[in-house]
Amino acid sequence: MQQIGKAYNEMKQGEPAVERLFDLTASFPKAKASRRHLKNVIGDVVFDNVCFSYGATSPRVLQNINFHVCAGETVALVGPSGGGKTTLAKLLLRLYEPTQGNILIDGENIQGVSLESLRQQVAIVPQETALFTGTVMENIAYGVMPNDIDMKRVERAATMANADEFIRRLPDGYETNLGERGSSLSGGQRQRIAIARAIYHGPSILILDEATSALDNRSEKLVREALEQLMIGRTVFIIAHRLETVQKAARIFLLDGGKLVEEGTHSSLIARGGQYASLFSAGRDDVRPQLTAK
Ligand SMILES: Nc1ncnc2c1ncn2[C@@H]1O[C@H](COP(=O)(O)OP(=O)(O)OP(=O)(O)O)[C@@H](O)[C@H]1O
């Protein structure tokens, strides 16, 4: 009973951080008892005429979004502030449901699957990593009951995330209690714990919200390498801010005013000479100021 109580408290401690990240409101979808379990997912994602408004009388913030992202593909979501990038990610995580249209994973409408199984398959690595007060090990295996944590798997995930080395130097290694929301760690270390968490849970679909705040060079390199490990073999949506990230993506989706206005590879969009090309014409490395400038 004590273990259950502890796990419950830990989950509760994590909740405010998740809510802060996604600004959850009353429209959180209601869990339905009879939903199917999503399993053996390869990560094929379809948005079929998806529209969305945050409230019945609010304007549409996504309008007739149609795309097919193949399993294992990496797509960069770019566009001006308020274009709908984060909202699209929220719908894929089913933090909200489309007001019209359908989202399919491996051909299965996500409205018909259990939230639990969906969240096992779709993970997010946010800009601001939400850690909770607990041990490093518990933070990596987030959501798993303490007795069920597979330590070998935690260590493997941390190694792949370039986190094992610094964790072993902490006073109690993997058993070290992180302070309030992981305040004893640097920003880069917190990000690598978040990446280890995603690797531990093995989702087939990832949403990466690329950090805009700068890390020092070494930390930046370790985080980038960790992300590259994490992305291998998964379908990835990156809310991208950097030119280098965007150029590496297999495809780029430019969202503006809730519409998918351009779609293609970096070179094809540059050759097209449209909105994406003009946003990049200044050629700076940090794309955010250009993509958010109207
Ligand atoms: N919880 C919310 N309630 C009501 N409107 C919202 C909410 N969250 C976002 N919006 C609105 O939805 C639209 C799309 O916002 P969204 O955050 O998806 O854009 P974005 O492209 O991710 O922007 P940014 O690059 O600034 O993060 C905006 O007009 C925004 O004001």
* Entry field: residues in the chain: 294
Alpha-helical segments (H) within 114-216: 115-121, 136-140, 151-160, 164-168, 187-201
pTM of this structure: 0.83
Weakest-pLDDT range from 57-66, 146-155, 214-223, 281-290: 281-290
The half-sphere exposure of 42 on its side-chain side, counting CA atoms within 13 A, is 9
pLDDT tens readout for residues 107-141? 999 999 999 899 889 999 888 777 888 899 999 99
CATH 3.10.290.10 fits 74-84+117-286, yes or no: no
Exposed, middle or buried: residue 275 (CB in 10 Å: 0-12, 13-18, 19+)?
A: middle
Ligand 1 touching residue 61 (CB < 6 A)? yes
Distance 36 CA to ligand 1 centre (A): 30
Q: Identify how many contiguous H helices and E strands the chain contains and give both numbers.
A: 12, 12
Distance 166 CA to ligand 1 centre (A): 36
Q: Which amino acid is located at 126 in the chain?
A: P
Q: Atom 6 in ligand 1: which residue has the minimum CA distance? A: 54
Distance 241 CA to ligand 1 centre (A): 16
The stretch 27-50 carries a mean pLDDT of 78
Give the max Cα distance, the chain. Answer: 63
Predicted confidence at residue 174, as pLDDT, reads 96
- Kindly tell me if the per-residue pLDDT of 221 is higher than 80: yes
Predicted confidence at residue 182, as pLDDT, reads 65
The stretch 259-273 carries a mean pLDDT of 94
Q: What percentage of residues in the chain have a pLDDT greater than 70?
A: 82
Distance of CA 127 to the CA centre of its chain: 9
The stretch 241-254 carries a mean pLDDT of 88
pLDDT tens readout for residues 137-175? 999 998 888 889 999 999 999 999 999 999 999 999 999
Q: Atom 15 in ligand 1: which residue has the minimum CA distance? A: 82
Closest CA to 40 of 112, 117, 104: 117
- Kindly tell me if the per-residue pLDDT of 177 is higher than 60: yes
19: how many CB neighbours lie within 10 A of its CB? Answer: 14
Q: Atom 17 in ligand 1: which residue has the minimum CA distance? A: 86
Distance 153 CA to ligand 1 centre (A): 36
Distance of CA 214 to the CA centre of its chain: 19
Taking the domains of the chain in order of start, what are their residue ranges? 74-84+117-286
Residue 4 in 3-state DSSP? helix
Q: Which amino acid is located at 83 in the chain?
A: G
Residue 112 in 3-state DSSP? helix
ipTM of model over 0.85 = yes
Predicted confidence at residue 210, as pLDDT, reads 83
Of 65, 85, 292, the one to substitute when testing ligand 1's pocket (max ligand atoms within 8 A of C-beta) is 85
Rg from Cα positions in the chain? 19
